[in-house]
Chains A and B, each alone.
Chain A
Amino acid sequence: DADVTQTPRNRITKTGKRIMLECSQTKGHDRMYWYRQDPGLGLRLIYYSFDVKDINKGEISDGYSVSRQAQAKFSLSLESAIPNQTALYFCATSDPGTSRDTQYFGPGTRLTVL
């Protein structure tokens, strides 16, 4: 089984709809991240969390919110989706211990906003 899972894998929605993307991990890592990937732009950080009570904005947080329901779960919400939020979204985790430089990514959620 995959260590970092994301649901759904694909989603098509309409402008103005509320969307939630979910991420779960079995790696036991405290740190979790949400990135978006756009063609030609690499990945950019949306939000990150170092534990259940710690939520921080990344470089492109406008239009997004997150919830850290448990150590293993980190959800990303689009309160009112717009077409320029069409992208590939990745969740990642890391361990502040010996491998803290390494992030482990989920398979991604492809979101299309019409």
Chain B
Amino acid sequence: GNSVTQMEGPVTLSEEAFLTINCTYTATGYPSLFWYVQYPGEGLQLLLKATKADDKGSNKGFEATYRKETTSFHLEKGSVQVSDSAVYFCALRNPMDSSYKLIFGSGTRLLVRP
């Protein structure tokens, strides 16, 4: 079946540190891949996405590359800010699934300290 595995948190970094949050997936076919972010007390917001192999999604300094050979979609940012503190969810959508539902990983909490 389809599933998403992401690294457990919390991840604690100092401001301006480099961030990597690992995400790997299992899916049939060629899924679309997403990173969503959830700030405290809010709903999920789309951060970036990639729909085919080797695509790079990017937004707000974050980026992730769709790697089919390693079934991965790791999230990176070169220099984190305190305002990046949030929970990050990796997700996939299987184009063969008529529900168009998203399958989420368990989420990784990021805490950035000044």
A residues whose Cβ falls under 8 Å from a Cβ of B: 4, 31, 33, 40-45, 48, 56, 58, 90, 92, 94, 100-108
Enumerate 25 A-B pairs (CB-CB under 8 Å) in ascending A order.
A4-B43, A31-B100, A41-B106, A42-B89, A42-B105, A44-B104, A45-B101, A48-B100, A48-B101, A56-B99, A90-B44, A92-B44, A101-B34, A101-B49, A101-B100, A102-B34, A102-B46, A103-B46, A104-B46, A105-B43, A105-B44, A107-B41, A107-B42, A108-B42, A108-B43
Residues of B within 8 A of A (CB): 4, 32, 34, 36, 41-46, 49, 51, 89, 91, 93, 99-102, 104-107
A101 is contacted by which of B4, B93, B104, B106 (Cβ under 8 Å)?
B93
For B107, the closest partner residue in chain A by CB is: A42
Contact of A43 among B42, B49, B51, B102 (CB under 8 A): B102
Distance between B39 CB and nearest chain A CB, rounded to angstroms: 10
Asked if residues A90 and B106 are in contact (CB atoms below 8 Å), the reply is: no
Question: What secondary structure prevails in chain A residues at the interface with B?
Answer: strand
Quick check: A58 and B101 within 8 Å, CB to CB?
yes
User: Which are the 6 A-B pairs with shortest beta-carbon distances?
Assistant: A42-B104, A105-B43, A105-B44, A43-B104, A107-B43, A45-B101
